[in-house]
Structure 1
Amino acid sequence: MTNRTHYYLQIKDLLHARGPEPTLRYEGAGPNDFAAALQEALRSPLLFQRWRAMQPDPDSVDERLGITDQLATVSAKTVDLHTEVDVISNLPMNILRQRLSWLIGSEWQLHDVRPA
C-alpha cells in the first residue's frame, strides 16, 4: 500500500448527507467540516473502533478493515450546488467507501481515480 491515489468525489447535498448510524455519522455544517471528519476517519482508527464495538461479535471483525493512512489528505469545496471532495491516500477504495458510508451513507459519487 505504498502507492498514493487521488480520488475525486462529489456530494450532491452535503447539508442532508448523513450515515445511517447516529453514533458514526457526519454531523458537521459544511465542506471544511466534512473534509476534516473524513480525513480523521482515514488517519485514525477511532471511527472503525466505534463501528467494531457495535458489531455482535467484535472480536470476529477482520482487523484489516481498520487500516489507516496517517498521511491521507482531504479537501472539499462547494461548487455550484454540490460539494467536490479530493482525497489523496494509499488506502484502497473499499476502505474509503466504508468510511464514507459510515459518515454520509450513499450520498456521494466517485468521479475519477488517478495516481497521486
Structure 2
Amino acid sequence: MKKVDTNKYTKLTLSLERIRGIITELPHNGHRFVVLYDDKPDKQGYIQTILEDDTLGEQSPYLLETRVYHTEDTFSHYRKSCTKAQEIFPYFEDFYKDIPFSYENWEEVTKEFLED
C-alpha cells in the first residue's frame, strides 16, 4: 500500500486525488514536501516533490526526485524540474499504480547520495 509523508503527515494512506491536491497547493498549504512510497518491506523506492524555491510561491518550479532500488543496498536516484504541478501528476500516478516510467529526461544524481 502506498503511503504519504509531508512535514504535516506521516505514513498516511491517501487517495491519488488527495495527493494531487496537496501537490497543487504546495505553495500555500504548509506541507513543504510530498513523499510517496510503498510500505511493503521489499519495495524501498519513492517519489517526492518540493518547490525549488519556496520564496517564489506559485512561481517556483517543482523539483521532482525518485529513487529506484536495485538491491537492498544499491539504488539509482533521479531528479528533474517541472514548471507546473500538472507536469508531476503523471509520475506520481504511475508510481501510485506501480507502473514503471522512463528516466530518459531525468538527471541521474546517484553520486550525490553515496558515501565517500
Q: Identify whether the pair has TM-score above 0.5, normalized to the shorter chain.
A: no
Higher normalized helix content (fraction of residues): 1
Which one has more relative contact order, counting CA pairs under 8 Å at least 6 apart? 1
Higher normalized strand content (fraction of residues): 2
Q: Give the TM-score taking structure 1 as reference length.
A: 0.30
